[in-house]
Amino acid sequence: MRCGREAAVYRPYSGEVLCRRCFTESVEIRVRRTISRYRMLQPDSRIAVAVSGGKDSVVLLHVLAKLEERFPKSELIAVTVDEGIEGYRNESLEIIEEAVRRLQVPWLKTSFKELFGRTLDEIIRAASEILGERRLGACTYCGVLRRRAINTLAVKAGADVVATAHNLDDEAQTILMNILKGDLTRFLRNKPARRNVEGFVPRVKPLREIPEEEIVLYAYFNRIRYHETPCPYHAEAYRDDVRAFINKIETQRPGTKYNIVRIHEKITQLIPEEEELKVSTCTNCGQPASSEKCKVCQLLEEIGGS
């Protein structure tokens, strides 16, 4: 112990023993280093923070609000999408409201209902009726529509960057899943800061070097309330298997998660940067699209909407 205060955290991957205060500081320092290492933010950035109310996004909002105090020209705006999942979102909206009030951050909201005319529940019901067995997983509909909704909110907020709350565990899992699926395109595309897709506000992941466990501890030590109820559609069996596998190895060999993220970074650095990805405009909705119609319109059309 460097400071003489009571020990509260042991980090197996570094051998450090830290008190609550030193731990909190070290998390914030690591986020700050991640941000400068990948040039995620500028001193005058207008940052849209995607906040769902879960532990990662609420902690991200708190850490960025603290870091942002040093940059008076930068601004934070919390952005939230209500997917329309019965019995799930309401509590999280209250939690976000409390957080934005505490931190005095402006908050912009939208919903699938407002943007796409239906809630996620209604979309899944329609997809099951029309497509039966061929219906995609709820998280596929949710992910595609939420990405569009967050981008719409970021544009509305005049933001020049969107910060999302992916943590070290999420990143390590995604990298390994892409390897296991043999998906080289996604493997290479997964960047800490993605700014080269025309029509989309650039996205950055300031928490990508913070293990999930430490996000929970940060929230606990700093009395940050978050939404713990899991989404009723959460059933991503593949990711759960990969999570269990990585966690097992991490227990036996601390530092494995960092190693996965680092080796991925080294490999992607060997490959020349993608040119700005040119995308065309969706003939239906006018939003950026990689083919004639954007993914959102394709999904909604299949289930008789849009």
Which residues contact Zn ion (rule: CB under 5 A)? 3, 5, 19, 22, 282, 284-285, 294, 297
Taking CA atoms, 65 is separated from 35, 70, 81, 156, 168, in Å, by 14, 10, 20, 21, 20
Structural contact between residues 201 and 158, judged by C-beta atoms closer than 8 angstroms: no
Q: How many residues bind ligand SF4 (CB under 6 A)?
A: 8
Task: Pick the closer one to Zn ion by CB: 241 or 292.
Answer: 292
* Alpha carbon 299 to chain centroid, angstroms: 22
134-193: contacts with ligand SF4 (CB under 6 A): 138-139, 142-143
Q: Which of 153, 231, 260, 303 binds ligand SF4 (CB under 6 A)?
A: 231
Q: If you ran DSSP here, which 8-state letter would residue 73 be given?
A: T
What whole-number distance in Å separates Cα of residue 82 and Cα of residue 88? 10
Structural contact between residues 203 and 162, judged by C-beta atoms closer than 8 angstroms: yes
Residue 299: exposure state from Cβ atoms within 10 A (0-12, 13-18, ≥19): buried
Q: How far is the CB of 160 from Zn ion (least distance, A)?
A: 24
List, in order, residues 6 or more apart from 240 with CB less than 8 Å away: none
Task: Pick the closer one to ligand SF4 by CB: 83 or 214.
Answer: 83
Q: How far is the CB of 236 from ligand SF4 (least distance, A)?
A: 7
Residue 22 binds which of Zn ion, ligand SF4, none (CB < 5-8 A, kind-dependent): Zn ion
Task: Pick the closer one to ligand SF4 by CB: 19 or 95.
Answer: 95
Backbone φ/ψ region at 4: left (φ over 0), alpha (ψ -120 to 50), beta: left
Taking CA atoms, 266 is separated from 259, 261, 271, in Å, by 10, 9, 9
What whole-number distance in Å separates Cα of residue 286 and Cα of residue 291? 12
Residue 142 binds which of Zn ion, ligand SF4, none (CB < 5-8 A, kind-dependent): ligand SF4
Residue 297 binds which of Zn ion, ligand SF4, none (CB < 5-8 A, kind-dependent): Zn ion
Q: How far is the CB of 102 from ligand SF4 (least distance, A)?
A: 24
**17, β-bridge pairs:** 10
Q: How far is the CB of 53 from ligand SF4 (least distance, A)?
A: 11
54-83: contacts with ligand SF4 (CB under 6 A): 83
What whole-number distance in Å separates Cα of residue 157 and Cα of residue 135? 34
Q: Which of 233, 268, 277, 285 binds ligand SF4 (CB under 6 A)?
A: 233
Does 38 participate in binding ligand SF4 (rule CB under 6 A)? no
Q: Which of 234, 248, 262, 278 binds ligand SF4 (CB under 6 A)?
A: 234
Q: Provide the b/e sequence for 6-22 (b: ≥16 CB within 10 Å).
A: eebbebeeeeeebbbeb
Residue 284 binds which of Zn ion, ligand SF4, none (CB < 5-8 A, kind-dependent): Zn ion
Q: How far is the CB of 284 from Zn ion (least distance, A)?
A: 4
Q: How far is the CB of 153 from ligand SF4 (least distance, A)?
A: 16
Footprint of ligand SF4 (CB under 6 A):
83, 138-139, 142-143, 231, 233-234
